[in-house]
Chains A and B, each alone.
Chain A
Amino acid sequence: MKWNKNFWIAYTLTIIIQLLICNYLNLSPYVMLSILPVAVLCIPLNFGTAFAMIIAFVSGCAVDFLADGIPGLNALALVPVAFTRKTLIQMIFGEELFVREDGFSVKRNGFPKVLLAIIIMQTLFLAVYIAADGAGMRPLWFDAARLAASLAAGTLASLLLIGILAPEDK
């Protein structure tokens, strides 16, 4: 296994950072800044999809109960990310990661592939989150604007974190 040995420490830190973001960095009603999808994306591949979904559900609930105020919203949006994680990694990075039980990183797999994976996961998370949060009460243009602004902010934040969650080889 070549995975980051400190992954779970980094993962816990990411949850704490997300709690702080939810409580202190409310930029605008159009921006929902979340770094949870990238944390789930980086869960080591030797852990199965069921385990990743449980971790995603628990992490989402933690943020819902300790910061966001709507129980179940983050959990609802994060579980699909965990469910599709392995398929997406296989499609973008190829089968060899699974054969070598190796993790991905910007240096090994290239920036465009990592960026694409982050964008897809962020989009999936935000689409579910915004649809459930608006619950049909908001006009489509508002949800679309929120998705675009949140995707941009979330992707940038995720790129900053990817170095910690999926570090380069030494």
Chain B
Amino acid sequence: MPKRNSTWPTVINAAIFLAMEIVALNMIAAGPSLQGLRISEAAHRFMGTVWGGTEAVKDYFSLRETNDSLMRENMLLHEKLLRYAAADSLADKAAETEGDFTFTPAKILKISNNKQHNFLIINRGSEDGITGQSGIISDKGVVGIIDAVGKRHSYALSLLNSGISISARIGMEGAVGPLVWDGERSDGALLKEIPLQYKYSPGDTVYTSGYSSIFPPDIPLGVAGEARIINGATNEIRIRLFQDFSTLRYVTVVTNNGRGAMEELIP
């Protein structure tokens, strides 16, 4: 009889253990999706409010740095505007080939950089016209992709997240492949599946390809470094990203208004 008494609790404990592990694995597999946000909306609101509030204190002490960064960005934008004005006066404009993108400025409330699945929370949500699968960029490249949208804030997966891959191209007319974070350095990425016959030079700039419906083409991402051959079939090229994620405060959300129509074409 004592044997029976000691066996049943072990069986019940093992069953509870298995059930909890299966639930946890399902939660990981589901990820922080839009549906997930509905379940955890209160938690994300908490994160946005509490951690965002503490960021305000941090912001106060980095005002000078932020101000300098904004001044530099303003100067660059001013130069760009002048160039566009000059080009416009030449008439004969090329046909608009990019999708219909809307650009929304946003402030980062919370960002993580030293994890394997980094994320960021921004102060724009569905009330500001943000939708899931919108891109996030800065003046130095791609920052991430919106994963879940609340009313006033959005949760995005950072480019420094092993679950993210974006379509990138070497040079203005080079080979295209998926670009993923290398998982080690905050400025390191890997450009994969580049054909062996394609020649490139270390130092070449890598841009977004525009082949996805998330990011417009020709956004500079970083510079190419050394390559290694994978399975004797393709090159994997190390990329040094332009974006310094540790100093990131302000970003722009890029929403492709033609995304729905594009997706309808895919069977």
Contacts and interface: CB of A to CB of B under 8 A. Distances in A.
Interface of A: 23, 26-29, 31-32, 48-50, 53-54, 57, 60-61, 64-73, 75-76, 79-80, 83, 132-135, 137-138, 142
Contact of B13 (A26, A31, A53): A53
A134 to B, nearest CB: 7
Nearest to B114: A26
A66 B27 contact: no
**Most A CB within 10 A of own CB, among B16, B20, B26, B115:** B20
- Label chain A's interface by main secondary structure: helix
B184 interface: yes
Nearest to A27: B114
Contact of B24 (A29, A48, A57): A57
Interface of B: 9, 12-13, 16-17, 20-21, 23-28, 30-32, 36, 40, 43, 46-47, 51, 110, 112-117, 119, 155, 162, 183-184
B114 A28 contact: yes
A72 B20 contact: no
A23 B120 CA distance: 11
B40 A70 contact: no
A29 B13 contact: no
Residue among A53, A65, A69, A134 with the highest chain B CB neighbour number at 10 A: A69
Given A76-B24, A138-B162, A29 B17 contact: no
Contact of A134 (B16, B26, B40, B116): B116
A24 B17 CA distance: 31
Contact of A138 (B26, B27, B36, B183): B183
B114 A76 contact: no
Nearest to A28: B114
Contacts of A79: 17, 20-21, 24
Given A29-B184, A57-B24, A69-B32, A48 B16 contact: no
Contact of B40 (A50, A60, A71): A71
A90 to B, nearest CB: 13
Given A50-B12, A70-B32, A75 B183 contact: no
Contacts of B31: 70-71
B20 A71 contact: no
Contacts of A32: 115
Given A26-B114, A48-B9, A50-B16, A76 B21 contact: yes
A73 B28 contact: yes
B36 A71 contact: yes
B26 A133 contact: no
